[in-house]
Structure 1
Amino acid sequence: MGGELFFRTEDIRQDEILGYLVETPTDRDLIEQLKGRSPVILKGSRGVGKSFLMRAAEAEIKNNFTSRRILPVYVTFARAGLIRANAPDKFLLWMMAKICNSIIRAASSAGLTLPGGSTIAAIRGGGSPGTPSKMEVVEKIFEDSWKNSGEAPLPAIVPDPEVLKDAVEDLCLHANLNRIILFVDEAAHVFIPEQQRQFFTLMRDLRSPYLSIKAAVYPGATSYGDSFQPIHDATVLIVDRSVTDHEYAAGMREIVFKQDPDLRKIIEQNGEVFDTLAYAATGNPRILLKTLDRSKPFNRRNAQEVIRQYYREDIWSEHSGLTERYPGHRDLIDWGRQFIEGHVLPKLYETNKGRKSETQSHFWIHRDAPQSIKEALRLLCYSGILQEGVSGIRATRSEVGTRYMVNLGCLFSLDAEPVSFGAKIRQHLSIKRFPEFGANHSAYRPISKLSLENISTGGNQALESQLQKSSDLLDITEWQKQRIRDLGLSTIGEVLAASEEEFMKAHYVGPKRARKVSNAAIAAVLEYLSG
C-alpha cells in the first residue's frame, strides 16, 4: 500500500483541506449552512467528519474574504477535560478567554487593523508587544490547572458575553466586516453535563447580527440546559453518510484516493472487498481509513480478518473502556453492550441469514422506554456503534418510537465470511422492517430504574487517573508510538506535557516531523481524555 493515511483532520494542513474534500450533495449543504448566518449545531459521532467539514467551510470563507468580508474563526474546546472542576465558573471563564484569543489571532492573521477602543482592549486583556497577551496567559492558566493543585491568580479580568459582543461589533464596523463566524469544535465534554449546559447558554448569549456560532457536538451531548432550546436557538445538522445512497461506495473510494492515489489499482482489483470495508464503516471515514490501513497487504483474507478483529473486539473495547474513565456511567455502558450483543445483533443476524431480500440493520425502541435506556443508546451512538435514531417512527399496532441503525461492521463480523455476507446485506438493505423493543421489554430491567441524577461526571479524580494511563493506549500509528517510547514518555500525562523540542530528540524526527508527531499525539491525548 502507499503512503501514510490521515485519520484525523488535525493532521492535515489548513491550506490542504479543500484538496481532500470529496463533496457529496449532503456535504455541500452542510458546508453552505456552516457558512451561513444562522447558529448551527453539527452533530455526529467520532470520526464522521465534523472537524473536516468545519475546516472546509473555514477554508472556503477565507478564499472569498476579500469579496465577502466574513472572518472565520476556528477554535477547539478539546482541552475542556483538563479544566479542574473545583469552581463552577472556571469553565465559563476559560471558554471566554479562548474565544477572545481566537478572534484576536484570526483578525491579525487576516491583516485587519484592530480598533483601539475599550472593548477590544478588554478582550485582548492587555500585554506588551511581542509577548503573550494577558488573556492568552489566562487561557493557559486554566489549561495547565491539571498540573497544579493550587489556584493561580488571573492577570486580567475575563470579559463577559456582552463585552465580547460589543467588541465583535466594533471590530466589524471598524474593519468593514459583514460578520464573524465562530467555529467551535469539540464544543463541550460529553461526560460533563455542566460543561455542556454552560456552553449552550454562552452560545445563546453571544448571538448577534455580527457573530454567528457553529458548534460541533457528539450525539451524547444532550444537556442543553434550561435557557437553550435547540429547535429555536440553532439549526441542528446531522453528519450522516447514508449507506443507502447509490453513490456511497464511490464516495468512500474517493476519500481514500484523495489521500493516496497509489491505492487506486489495488482497490479496484479488490472492489467487492473494499466496498465491504466501506459499508462496514457505516459512513465513518476514520474507521474506513483505520481498517484499510490494518488490511495491508490489501486482499480478501486480510480484510476479513480485520473486520472480525475490529468489529467484534476493538470497537467494543473502546466503548467498554469508557467505564474506566467515567465509572459513574458504568451501568449504562455495560448494559448497552450487553443489549446490542445479546439481543439486537443475534436477532438481526438470524433474520438476515434466512433472507434473500430486504435485509436489516435497524431496530426500534418505544418512545416510552425508560430514560436510562435512551441514555445508554446515546452513548453507543457516541462510540459509533449505533447511528443516532430517527424519532417518530411507527411500528406494529401504530406504536411510535425511535429507529436506530447498528454499525454494519458489527453485523458483518458475525459471519464466517464477512465479505460475502456483507455484500448480501448491503445490496438488499431496507429500513422498512426491524426488531421492535416495546416500552417495558424484559431486556430493560437491569437499568430501568437507574437514577440518572446519581451518575458521576468523574471530576478531577477521573482526570488524574486517566493521565497516569499508558501512552500505548493512544490512537496513533505504531511509528508514532515507537517515537514516544524512544523518548520515555510512558504515560498520557507525560505526552501531554511534552514540547515539540522534546519530540525532536527522537530518532529520525526533524522539526517538521516533530510538529506532526506532537500534533498527532496531543490530538490523540485530548480525544482519549474526552472519552
Structure 2
Amino acid sequence: MLKAFHKMLSAVGPQALPVYVNFKLALKVEPLYSKGANAPFWFKGWLTLKVIEALRKTLEEIDGIDLPDSFPKKEFIERTLVKIEAGTTDGAETEQFSIPFLQQTIDEILDRNNINRCVLLIDDAAHAFSEKQQEDFFDFFRAVKSKSISPKAAVYPGITSHSPSFQVGHDAEQIDVWVKPSGEDYESFMLELAKKRFEGTQINLVDNNEDDIAFLAYCSFGIPRAFLGMLRAIYNSPETYLNSDGSLSKAKVLTLSRSGKEMSHRVYSSLEAKLPSLKSYVENGEFIYRTLLDSIKEFNSGKGRSEQSMQFGIRNPLDPNLEKVISFYQYAGLIMSIGDFSRGENGVFSVYELHIGDLVTDNAIVSRRTKSISLFLEVLRAKKLQIWPRTFSSKILELTKLNGIDFKISLPQCQVCGTERPTPEAHFCPNCGSRLKSSSAYEHLADQDISVLDISPAMKDRIKKNSQIRKVRDILIDSSREQLMSIKYIKKARAVKIVGAAEEYVS
C-alpha cells in the first residue's frame, strides 16, 4: 500500500490523488460495541475522520493545492478522533462527518485542482478490526466507492469478515499481492531492497555476500519485514555476523535464517489472544502444521535436490475445520496458497507452499548432516516440478488424532474468575456469581501482561523492576513515553521500539 502511495504521489500529471490510511490501532474504538447500540454510527464517523486526516497529510505533501474552506482543521480532526476513541464525544460533532460529506469534500478538491480521481489505499483494515468492525467497514467501503473515488483495502485469509451486503467479485475484485519467494525476479527485488537498506552505511554487505543474502531472502518467505529484520540484526551486531574480510559467517547466517519463521509463528500464536473464541483452532493447528511439515520431509527423503518439493496438496473438498486452520497459517505468513490443480481421476487438489524457514530448520530439504548455503540455494533455485505429497483431510485429522469435537467455539470468560460462560445469553458466572460483562477484544489484549510482547526477556524484567508498568495498556497510555524513558538504559530509540511492540500486539 505504501509503495503504491509513493509511486502515485510522485507520478507526473494530475491523474490520481492517492490517500494512504492506516487503521493499525482501530481496536481502540472496539469497546464502543460493548457499551451501546450506536457503535456503528460512532465507528463510521471515526472511519470518515481517519480518511480526512490522511487526506490532509497527503495534500500537505503536494505544492499549490487548492483546498475548500469547509475542509476541517487539523487540530479539530485530531481532537474529535481522541474524543470518539475515549467515548466522550457527542453526536453533533460526529454527525457532520458522514460518507456524503467525505465524497463531496474529495470531489470538490478534485474539481478545484483538475485531478481525475482519488484512490483510497486502506491498510490494516481487515487485520486490525474486530469482526463487527469489519462488517461496518465493508459497508463503509461499499458506500464510499464512486465514479471519482476508488477504495482499495488490505484483507487477510481466515480473519476477514465481509458484511452481508458486500460481495467479493461484485463490489470489489480480490487479488493476491503476496510476493512469491521464487525465481530471479524475487531475488533481484529482495537484493535491491537489501542494497537500499545499507546505502550510506559503512557495510558493503550485499556485493560481498550475494548468495548469503539471497538465502536469507528465501527464508523470509516473501515477507519483506522479516527479511529487513534479519538485515537489521546484521547491521546492529556486525561483529557477530561478519568475518574479518567482510564476508558473512555461514554458521551465523544459518542461525539467523530461523528468525523469519519465528516471527511468523509468533503472529500465529498471538491469534489465541486476538480470537479467544477460536482458541481451539489455534491450539490444534500446531499439530496439523507439524503433520504437514513431516509429510514434505518424508516425501523429499532420498530424492535428488532437483526433485525436492516445498509444497503439499490436499484433495478437495477440504474439511471446514482444516480449511480454517490453514487460513490462519496463511494470515500468519507460514503457508502460501499456490492454487488448485487437477489430477484427473484422483481429483482436484488445493496446493500450498510451507514456510521455507521451517523447511530449512527441520531438514525437510537438503536432508544431510553437513548442510551448506550453496546446497540450500540449489534446491530453492531449482525449477519447481508439479510433484508434491498428496493427502486428504481425513488422513491429516487421523494422524493428528483430531475430530470435529476438538474444534469448538469458546465463549467469553468471566472477567473475575476466568470461567467460560455456559451460554452466550448468560448474565451471571456459574462459578463465582459475578455479573458477566460484554467482552471487548481490545480491552482483553490491553489487559495482558507485558510478557506477551515481542521484546527481550531482559527488557521485560528491567521494565517491571524499575517502573509500575505491568500490562500492555500501561505502555499504550504512556503517550509521552516518560515512564519508559525514566528506566535505566531505555531512551528514545528503545522506548519507540517497546511502544511499537505494544501497538503491534493490540493491532
Query: What amino acid is the match of 1:491?
Result: K
Q: 2:445 aligns with which of 466, 475, 485?
A: 466
Structure 2 residue 105 is matched with structure 1 residue 161? no
Q: Choose from 240, 243, 249 the match for 1:299.
A: 249
Instruction: Give the conservation status (yes or no) of the 8 Å contact 1:480–1:517.
Output: no
Q: Distance in 1 between matches of 2:124 and 2:174?
A: 15
Query: How far apart, in 2, do the equivalents of 1:61 and 1:457 lie?
Result: 44
Q: Is the 8 A contact 2:338 2:353 kept in 1?
A: no
Judge conservation of contact 1:359–1:429 (CA < 8 Å) in 2. Answer: no
SS in 1 for 2:25: helix
Q: 1:477 to 1:74 in 2, by over 3 A?
A: farther
1:70 equivalent among 13, 16, 19: 16
Q: Is the 8 A contact 2:122 2:153 kept in 1?
A: yes
Q: TM-score if structure 2 supplies the norm length?
A: 0.77
CA apart distance, 1:105: 4.5
Return the alpha-carbon distance in structure 2 between the equivalents of residues 289 and 165 of structure 1: 38
Query: Partners of 2:209 and 2:60 in 1: how far apart?
Result: 49
Equivalent residue runs for 1:335-354 within 5 Å: 335-341=284-290, 343-354=291-302
Is residue 331–residue 447 contact of structure 1 (8 Å, CA) maintained in 2? no
| 1:59 and 2:9 correspond | no
Match among 211, 221, 228 for residue 282 of structure 1:
221
**Residue 320 in 1 paired to residue 241 in 2?**
no
Aligned to 1:441, the other structure's residue is in SS state helix
Structure 1 length normalisation: TM-score?
0.74
Please state how far the C-alpha of 1:504 moved relative to its aligned partner: 6.3
8 Å CA contact 1:373–1:447 kept in 2: the answer is: no
- Answer 1 or 2: higher relative contact order, Cα 8 Å, separation at least 6: 1
Q: Show the counterpart of 2:419.
A: none
> CA RMSD, aligned part only?
3.5
Counterpart residue identity of residue 466, structure 1: L
Q: 1:211 to 1:278 in 2, by over 3 A?
A: same
Using a 3 Å threshold, how does the CA distance of structure 1 residues 310 and 103 change in structure 2: closer, same or farther? closer
Unaligned regions of 5+ residues in structure 2, if any? 235-239, 242-247, 364-368, 414-437
Report the CA distance shift for 1:457/1:81 in structure 2 as closer, same or farther (over 3 A).
Answer: farther
Distance in structure 2 (CA, Å) of the matches to 1:94 and 1:417? 57
| Deviation string, structure 1 residues 11-55 (Cα, Å, up to 9, x no partner) | xxxxxxxxxxxxxxxxxxxxxxxxxxxxxxxxxxxxxxxxxxx22
**Residue 142 of structure 1 is aligned with which of 84, 89, 95?**
84
1:255-270 residue pairs with structure 2 within 5 A? 255-261=193-199, 262=201, 265-270=204-209
Q: For residues 370 and 202 of structure 2, what CA distance do their matches in structure 1 show?
A: 24
After superposition, what is the alpha-carbon deviation per residue over 1:115-143, rounded to whole angstroms, capped at 9, x for unaligned? 34xxx46xx3xxxx7x721x433321233
Q: How does 1:106-255 map to 2 (within 5 A)?
A: 106-107=58-59, 110=62, 111-116=64-69, 120=70, 124=72, 132-133=75-76, 135-144=77-86, 152-154=89-91, 156-158=93-95, 159-189=97-127, 192-255=130-193
Give the corresponding residue for 1:27: none
CA distance in 2, matches of 1:197, 1:325: 17
Q: In structure 2, what is the equivalent of residue 525 of structure 1?
A: 502
Structure 1 residues 188 and 301: CA distance shift in structure 2, 3 A: same
* Separation (CA, whole Å) in 2 of partners of 1:81 and 1:448: 31
Q: How many residues align?
A: 452
Cα distance in structure 1, aligned partners of 2:355 and 2:349:
20
1:33 — aligned with what?
Answer: none
Superposition deviation, residue 77 in structure 1? 0.7
Q: CA deviation at 1:379?
A: 0.6
> Bigger CA drift: 357-366 or 378-387?
357-366
Q: Shift of residue 455 of structure 1? A: 5.8
Once the two structures are aligned, what percentage of the paired residues are identical? 22
TM superposition shift of 1:338: 0.8
1:460 & 1:380 partners in 2: Cα distance? 25
2:341 is aligned with what amino acid?
I
- Give the alignment partner of residue 326 of structure 2, picking from 374, 377, 380: 377
Q: CA deviation at 1:258?
A: 0.9
Quote how far apart the aligned CAs of 1:424 are: 4.4
Amino acid at match of 2:444: S
Displacement of 1:329 in angstroms is: 1.6
Given candidates 315, 338, 360, the residue that maps to 1:390 is 338
Distance 1:108 1:246, change over 3 A: closer
